[in-house]
């Protein structure tokens, strides 16, 4: 065991090395743009140089003259592509802005695509296109004249239950201490290292799309609608995804265009969009603003919480995350009032980015909690203990499990929090001011519709198939572990196949539902295999298990076994007269509509959990961060961070550790590094590359300790699993910001906290 | 093609002539046009250029658009897709390969500029069914990746880092591996992997293996 592969505790699975590990370290893992296709033509996108206006004309003369150019696609010759309405959650397109013009809705909108024999020629021709625009003034952000604000509760059914309870005005009027503050989070881009790529190959009227995707069946069905062909004609393949973080969950405008070009040219077409194009042809995390009023009694009991959020979206689309839904359930607040507004600006449409609803909202409330604790003169951990709850402050429903304070206690002990001097600016090491801060991590536990096929051979080999995704989460591995456990074979005997729409459908890899949803479907399929084997062994006329109670049988070590008796699998297969047993199973969350699986086949996922069931289902964690701020230069460093997390059953301590560690680093990054800057006049992204959009490099990261806290929760789903992929980066930004306050006495309420804000 | 090589080590002069005579890319064109045009008859800049690379021990003769990067030559012309394109502008390190044993960004290197050189890619570290290179094994053991997209570049860079003597302590490793971004943020595990594989990687170098 090592730091990377922690010793499993109760309800935790072995740290098996990743099933896809060898493929990934040898370069054999084929990501979609690595798939060999015969004689591809290469595409290069042309994107809008203005943020708002119209294309008057596109002069293609010089571009068409570039040797090797095959065709140029613009709004004038792509009208056959159908419109698909924007829809959140993978069921539709990521944006309603799909036409290539003549209207321009945002900077970097795709307005043309050049296809040529070589990548070099396509790029040359793309640069040679001359576009004549009529530019209109654009409104890029909150304070720009011309943006439009809407209250989301007026828009969507799903937003109607924006949480509120009691009389907040009265509660705050009666509070001993009140914090009234505004917070802001910037635009952020996922920037997975894999670029946005699409390769389309037609074989007769059948289309194969190689595109990194978090949702094979969503992509398949939406591409079919886009091209007006039957979904059975479209196959989508994405065995590996080079990072997604929410950016590859929906249909974006490029896919239909590449497929359209490949059909017209009778040739495979391969597109690898550039890094800067990636900022505008997919989604991003919306800029947000928050106003919070939070009040408590002198003894630390909260009495009232008001939270109003503002989120940027595009002109046509009503994308919002409304994280108040989760923030409002975090503590025993007393009275609660929340509201969320969207602000339509001249931007591309935002979308999910790792832990979409909670990241900005929990940053805001967890900073406000720290401010209130400081005003009360209370230890921030004790302040949370006083306001811990086992029931929903809004509805009174119980939490299915909630190990928040266990997480706080374990992380605090590992961090040595007791040595903290609470006074800001009191801890020093030479020229460095030291600050210690903490915050809560929380993420709704989602359970989605999923299907799986499992095959057990007489020799004990197992194959598991589901069209889920391993975005680096460890899905190949943990899904395989579940099958190995249920079928009593070694992990090495299992092969998991994912990422292909020819496999049975699984939900969108979003909301951290994959492990729970797929493992539950795999368990069901394995259960059916077990039942067949047990029946055959127990009802045989002879043999060691003949006449045994079926309920007393199990599978272990490649054998059907009972107390004191067993027979090899091969024997039981002989009794059945078959060489393999294959079972297909469907699993849908409780309360899902009867057609949930049919919908999944049609590309519509069903997710439940969070605040929506009979019990509240959430995973929790506690994060502690040390910052060092240089007394003269205000340079900020994070020498150590400790997070303790409880996520129900942990399938694999190695992959769980990596996800949470990566998440915490994401959180540190969002606190100190990341922000997409937008030109306030031209409404164009300024730092649209990896040198100017700051993400942590190796030298930015020091000790990051992850503690896995044992937790058992049979209510969340049959697998007992709470998702972890999005938990780790929730709360981290607040912990960093609270630590900066402790170091300096300065409360910075707008992320990222860069040194100029402290000077 | 005009390049008819007898030996595998082209002279500097030959390299310059190859580049200049087929200059079409904007950067090279600016550097050489005047001189080259003055010295030799203009030729069709769009004519493919012949490039010979020794990739993972195999000699490969390619006929390429002169603007083709080493990364695209490997990926699109040789089918070696282990090296990844994460930015195509020298900012992420996903395309890191070894050229004559030194780490180089494949996306910032024109294939024609490494004509005659020896290239090692991730595919060259082991073969299917064979034992992994100690650095590869260490990346598996330490879970030094998640999505795996930066991993080929990280591993090639890690080997280069050890060869350069820049893996003496954690701080050095972090600093000298900072040209390789990992958005999944496997950084602490990457440092652990390099520490695990350092000695074995050094002893392979001593026995002239990558
Ligand atoms: S692809 Fe070469 S550095 Fe990013
Ligand atoms: S493993 Fe995903 S970018 Fe490094």
Kindly state whether A456 is in contact with chain B, defined as any CB-CB distance less than 8 angstroms.
no
pLDDT over 50 (residue A496):
yes
For residue A278, is it left (φ>0), alpha (ψ between -120 and 50) or beta?
A: alpha
- What string of DSSP letters covers A29-67? ---GGGS--SS-EEEEEEE-SSSSEEEEEEE-HHHHTST
- For residues A73-82, average pLDDT: 96
Residue B35 is predicted with a pLDDT of: 39
**Chain B touched by A183 (CB under 8 Å):** no
Range B57-78 burial, b when 16+ CB lie within 10 A, else e: eeebebebbbbbbbbbbbbbbb
Task: Say which of B79, B121, B185 has its CB closest to residue A662.
Answer: B185
Nearest atom of ligand 1 to the alpha carbon of B84: 1
Average pLDDT over residues A251-271: 98
Q: Does the pLDDT at position A46 exceed 50?
A: yes
B96–chain A Cβ distance below 8 A for any pair: no
- Where are the alpha helices (H) located in B130-186, listed in sequence order? 134-141, 151-163, 170-176
* Distance from the first to the final alpha carbon of chain B: 33
Does residue B17 carry a pLDDT above 50? Answer: no
Burial state string for A452-473 with b = 16 or more CB within 10 A and e = fewer than 16: bbbbbbbebebbbbbbbbbbbb
Query: Catalytic annotation on A287?
Result: no
Q: Please say if the pLDDT value at position B180 is more than 90.
A: yes
Q: Are A471 and A216 in contact (CB under 8 A)?
A: no
What average pLDDT does chain A have?
Answer: 96
Domains belonging to chain A, first-starting first, are 32-136+197-272 (3.90.1170.50), 148-188+284-445+612-758 (3.30.365.10), 449-601 (3.30.365.10)
Q: Looking at the predicted structure, is the pLDDT value of residue A333 above 80?
A: yes
Å from CA of A480 to ligand 1 middle: 33
* Chain B residue numbers touching A28 (CB-CB < 8 A): 82, 128
Classify each residue of A62-78 as buried b or exposed e, where b means 16 or more C-beta atoms within 10 Å of its C-beta: ebeebebbbbbbbbeeb
Q: Encode pLDDT of A89-142 as tens digits.
A: 667 899 999 999 999 999 999 999 999 999 999 999 999 999 999 999 999 999
Query: In the numeric block, which tokens belong to residue B126?
Result: 């082991």
What is the nearest CA distance from B21 to chain A, expressed in angstroms? 18
Tell me, what's the pLDDT at B33? 36
Residue carrying the six token digits 């099933």: A19
Is ligand 2 within 6 A of the CB of residue B199? no
First-to-last alpha carbon distance for chain A, in angstroms, is 44
Evaluate whether A311 touches A340 at the Cβ level (below 8 Å).
Answer: yes
**Look-up of token digits 């293996």:** B209
Q: What is the mean pLDDT of residues A553-582?
A: 96
User: pLDDT confidence of A511, banded at 50, 70, 90?
Assistant: confident
Backbone φ, ψ for residue A287 (5° rounding): -65, 140
Q: What is the DSSP string of A311-376?
A: EEE-SS------THHHHTTSS--SEEEEEEEEEE-SS------SSTTHHHHHHHHHHHHHHHHHHH
Dist. CA A437–CA A739, nearest whole Å = 4
- Nearest CA-CA partner of A326 in A619, A689, A10: A619
Query: Which domains, and CATH codes, for chain B?
Result: 47-124 (3.10.20.30), 126-210 (1.10.150.120)
What does the alpha-carbon distance between residue A96 and residue A109 come to, in Å, rounded to a whole number?
12
Give the CA diameter of chain A: 86
**Cβ–Cβ contact A14 with B under 8 A:** no
pLDDT value for A531: 97
**For residue B22, pLDDT beyond 60:** no
What ipTM goes with this model? 0.97
Binning pLDDT at 50, 70 and 90, where does residue A715 land?
Answer: very high
Residue identified by tokens 């939070």 is: A294
A189 part of contact set with chain B, CB < 8 Å? no
CB B106 within 8 A of CB B74: yes
Half-sphere exposure of A341 (CA within 13 A, CB side): 16
What average pLDDT does the segment A305-311 reach? 98
A114: left (phi over 0), alpha (psi -120 to 50) or beta: beta
- Report the separation in Å between the CA atom of B14 and the middle of ligand 2, taken as the mean of its atom positions: 40
What are the structure tokens assigned to B119, written together? 């290239």
Share of chain A above pLDDT 90, in %: 94
Q: Tell me the best of B183, B189, B191, B193 to mutate to test the pocket of ligand 2, counting ligand atoms within 8 Å of each CB and taking the most.
A: B183
d(CA A451, CA A523): 11
Task: Note the pLDDT tens digit of each residue in A360-394.
Answer: 999 999 999 999 999 999 999 999 999 999 999 99
Q: Is B182 in the pocket of ligand 2 (CB under 6 A)?
A: yes
Between A210-214, A546-550, A674-678, B16-20, the lowest mean confidence (pLDDT) is in B16-20
A266: left (phi over 0), alpha (psi -120 to 50) or beta: left
In angstroms, rounded to a whole number, what is the distance separating the alpha carbons of residues A697 and B160?
18
Phi/psi region, residue A229 (left: phi>0; alpha: psi -120 to 50; beta: rest), is beta
Show Cβ contacts of residue B194 under 8 Å, excluding neighbours closer than 6 positions.
Answer: B135, B138, B158, B161, B162, B167, B173, B177
Name the one residue in this structure whose structure tokens are 């297909």: A584
Distances (CA, A) of B116 to A132, B20, B93, B121: 45, 16, 23, 16
At residue A512, the pLDDT reads: 84
pTM above 0.90, yes or no: yes
- Catalytic residue selected from A211, A306, A711, A726: A726
Q: DSSP readout, B38-69?
A: HHS----TTS-EEEEEEETTEEEEEEE-TT-B
Q: Which residue has the tokens 């589901």?
A: A466
Average pLDDT, chain B: 85
pLDDT above 80 (res B10): no
> Are the Cβ atoms of B85 and A33 closer than 8 angstroms?
yes
> What local confidence, expressed as pLDDT, does residue A160 receive?
63
Backbone Cα Rg of chain A: 27
Q: Is A194 helix (H, G, I), strand (E, B) or coil?
A: coil
Contact (Cβ atoms closer than 8 angstroms) between residue A739 and residue A627: yes
CB atoms within 10 A of CB A324: 28
Q: Compute the distance between CA of residue B204 and CA of residue B210 in angstroms, rounded to an integer.
A: 6
Question: For position B40, what pLDDT does the model report?
Answer: 58
Q: Average pLDDT in the A185-214 region? A: 98
Find the CB nearest B178 among A240, A654, A697.
A697
Residues 308-347 in A contacting B (C-alpha not used; CB under 8 Å): none
Q: Which has the minimum average pLDDT: A231-240, A284-293, A550-559, B28-37?
A: B28-37
List the structure tokens of A571: 């024997």
Listed in sequence order, the residues at least 6 apart from A100 whose beta carbon sits closer than 8 Å to its beta carbon are: A73, A74, A75, A78, A109, A110, A111, A112, A253, A257
Query: Distance from the CA of A686 to the center of ligand 1, in angstroms?
Result: 20
> Do A477 and A658 meet the contact criterion of CB atoms below 8 Å apart?
no
Among residues A684, A736, A727, the alpha carbon closest in space to that of A138 is found at A684
Q: Which of A285, A297, A640, A646 is nearest to A440 (CA)?
A: A646
Task: Pick A658's closest partner by Cβ from B94, B136, B189.
Answer: B189
Asked whether B103 lines ligand 1 (CB < 6 A), one says: no
**What is the Cα–Cα distance from A204 to A221, expressed in whole angstroms?**
19
Nearest-CA distance A120 → chain B (Å): 7
Torsion, Cα of B25, B26, B27, B29 (10° steps): 80
Task: Give A509's pLDDT tier (boundaries 50, 70, 90).
Answer: confident
Weakest mean pLDDT among A110-114, A719-723, B163-167: A719-723
Q: In the numeric block, which tokens belong to residue A236?
A: 């989508």
Write out chain B residues lying below 8 Å of A662, CB-based: 146, 184-186
pLDDT digits (tens, 9 = 90+) for A16-36: 999 999 999 999 999 999 999
Is A193 near ligand 2, meaning CB less than 6 Å away?
yes
Residue B191: count other Cβ atoms within 10 Å of its Cβ. Answer: 24
From the CA of A193, the nearest ligand is 2
Burial class (CB in 10 A: 0-12, 13-18, 19+), A481: buried
The tens digit of pLDDT for each residue in B58-79 reads: 999 999 999 999 999 999 999 9
pLDDT at B13 over 60: no
Mean pLDDT of B87-101: 98
Q: For residue B69, how many C-alpha atoms fall within 13 Å in the half-sphere facing its CB?
A: 22
For a pocket test of ligand 1, which of B90, B103, B109, B182 has the largest count of ligand atoms closer than 8 A to its C-beta? Answer: B90
Give yes or no for residue A419 CB within 6 A of ligand 2: no
Chain A residues whose CB is inside 8 A of the B150 CB are: 193
Question: Once rounded to an integer, what is the mean pLDDT over residues A632-660?
Answer: 97
């Amino acid at each position: 065991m090592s730091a990377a592969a922690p010793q499993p505790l109760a309800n935790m699975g072995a740290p098996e090395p990743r099933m896809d590990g060898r493929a990934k370290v040898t370069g054999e893992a084929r990501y979609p743009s690595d798939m060999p296709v015969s004689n591809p033509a290469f595409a290069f996108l042309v994107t809008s140089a203005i943020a708002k206006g119209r294309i008057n004309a596109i002069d293609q003369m010089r571009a068409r003259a570039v040797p090797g150019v095959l065709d140029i696609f613009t709004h004038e010759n792509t009208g056959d592509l159908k419109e698909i309405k924007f829809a959140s959650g993978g069921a539709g397109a990521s944006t309603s802005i799909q036409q290539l013009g003549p209207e321009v809705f945002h900077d970097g909108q795709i307005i043309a695509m050049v296809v040529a024999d070589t990548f070099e020629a396509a790029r040359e021709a793309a640069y040679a296109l001359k576009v004549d625009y009529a530019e209109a003034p654009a409104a890029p952000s909150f304070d720009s004249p011309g943006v439009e604000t809407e209250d989301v509760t007026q828009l969507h059914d799903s937003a109607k239950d924006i949480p509120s309870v009691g009389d907040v005005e009265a509660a705050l009027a009666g509070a001993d201490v009140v914090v009234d503050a505004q917070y802001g989070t910037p635009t952020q881009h996922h920037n997975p290292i894999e670029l946005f790529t699409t390769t389309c190959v037609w074989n007769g009227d059948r289309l194969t799309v190689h595109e990194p995707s978090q949702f094979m069946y969503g992509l398949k069905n939406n591409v079919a609608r886009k091209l007006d062909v039957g979904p059975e004609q479209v196959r989508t393949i994405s065995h590996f995804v080079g990072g997604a973080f929410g950016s590859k969950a929906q249909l974006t405008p490029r896919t239909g265009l590449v497929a359209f070009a490949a059909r017209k040219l009778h040739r495979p077409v391969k597109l690898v969009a550039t890094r800067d194009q990636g900022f505008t042809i997919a989604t991003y995390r919306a800029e947000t603003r928050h106003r919070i009023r939070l009040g408590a009694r002198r003894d630390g009991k909260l009495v009232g919480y008001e939270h109003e959020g503002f989120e940027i979206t595009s002109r046509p689309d009503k994308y919002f995350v409304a994280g108040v839904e989760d923030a409002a359930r975090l503590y025993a607040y007393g009275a609660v009032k929340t509201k969320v507004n969207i602000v339509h600006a001249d931007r591309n449409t935002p979308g999910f980015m790792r832990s979409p609803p909670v990241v900005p909202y929990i940053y805001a409330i967890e900073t406000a909690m720290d401010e209130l604790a400081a005003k009360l003169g209370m230890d921030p951990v004790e302040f949370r203990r006083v306001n811990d709850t086992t029931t929903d402050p809004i509805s009174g429903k119980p939490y299915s499990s909630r190990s928040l304070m266990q997480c706080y206690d374990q992380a605090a002990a590992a961090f040595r929090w007791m040595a903290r001097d609470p006074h800001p600016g009191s801890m020093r090491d030479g020229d460095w001011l030291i600050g210690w801060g903490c915050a809560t991590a929380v993420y709704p536990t989602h359970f989605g519709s999923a299907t799986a096929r499992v095959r057990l051979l007489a020799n004990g080999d197992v194959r598991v198939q589901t069209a889920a995704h391993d975005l680096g989460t460890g899905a190949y591995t943990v899904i395989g572990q579940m099958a190995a456990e249920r079928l009593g074979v070694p992990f090495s005997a299992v092969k998991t196949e994912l990422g292909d729409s020819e496999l049975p459908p699984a939900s969108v890899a979003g909301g951290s539902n994959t492990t729970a949803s797929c493992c539950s479907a795999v368990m069901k399929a394995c259960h059916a295999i077990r039942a067949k084997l047990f029946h055959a062994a127990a009802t045989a006329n002879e043999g060691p298990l003949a006449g045994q109670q079926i309920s007393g049988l199990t599978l272990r070590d490649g054998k059907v076994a009972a107390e004191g008796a067993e027979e090899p699998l091969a024997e039981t297969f002989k009794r059945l007269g078959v060489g393999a047993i294959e079972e297909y199973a469907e699993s849908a969350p409780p309360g899902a509509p009867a057609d949930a699986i049919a919908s999944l086949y049609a590309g519509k996922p069903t997710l439940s959990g969070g605040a929506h069931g009979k019990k509240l289902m959430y995973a929790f964690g506690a994060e502690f961060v040390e910052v060092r701020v240089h007394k003269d230069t205000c340079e900020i460093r994070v020498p150590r961070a400790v997070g303790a997390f409880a996520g129900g059953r942990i399938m694999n301590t190695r992959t769980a550790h990596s996800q949470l560690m990566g998440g915490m680093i994401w959180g540190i990054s969002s606190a100190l590094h990341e922000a997409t800057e937008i030109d306030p006049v031209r409404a164009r992204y300024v730092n649209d590359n990896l040198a100017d959009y700051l993400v942590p490099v190796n030298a930015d990261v020091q000790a990051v300790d992850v503690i896995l806290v044992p937790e058992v929760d049979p209510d969340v789903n049959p697998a007992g699993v709470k998702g972890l992929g999005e938990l780790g980066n929730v709360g981290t930004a607040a912990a960093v910001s609270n630590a900066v306050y402790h170091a300096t006495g300065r409360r910075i309420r707008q992320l990222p906290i860069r040194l100029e804000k402290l000077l | 093609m005009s390049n008819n090589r007898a030996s595998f080590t082209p002279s500097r002069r030959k390299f310059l002539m190859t580049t200049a005579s087929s200059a079409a890319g904007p950067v090279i064109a600016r550097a050489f046009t005047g001189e080259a045009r003055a010295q030799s008859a203009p030729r069709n800049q769009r004519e493919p250029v012949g490039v010979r690379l020794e990739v993972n021990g195999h000699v490969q003769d390619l006929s390429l658009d002169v603007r083709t990067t080493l990364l695209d030559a490997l990926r699109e012309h040789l089918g070696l897709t282990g090296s990844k394109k994460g930015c195509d502008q020298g900012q992420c390190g996903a395309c890191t390969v070894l050229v004559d044993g030194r780490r180089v960004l494949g996306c910032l290197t024109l294939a024609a500029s490494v004509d005659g050189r020896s290239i090692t890619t991730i595919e060259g570290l082991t073969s299917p069914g064979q034992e992994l290179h100690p650095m590869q094994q260490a990346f598996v053991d330490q879970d030094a990746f998640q999505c795996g997209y930066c991993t080929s570049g990280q591993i090639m860079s890690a080997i280069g880092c050890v060869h350069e003597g820049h893996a003496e302590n954690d701080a050095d490793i972090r600093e000298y591996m900072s040209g390789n971004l990992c958005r999944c943020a496997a950084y602490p595990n990457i440092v652990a992997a390099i520490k695990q594989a350092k000695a074995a990687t050094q002893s392979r170098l001593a026995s002239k293996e990558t």
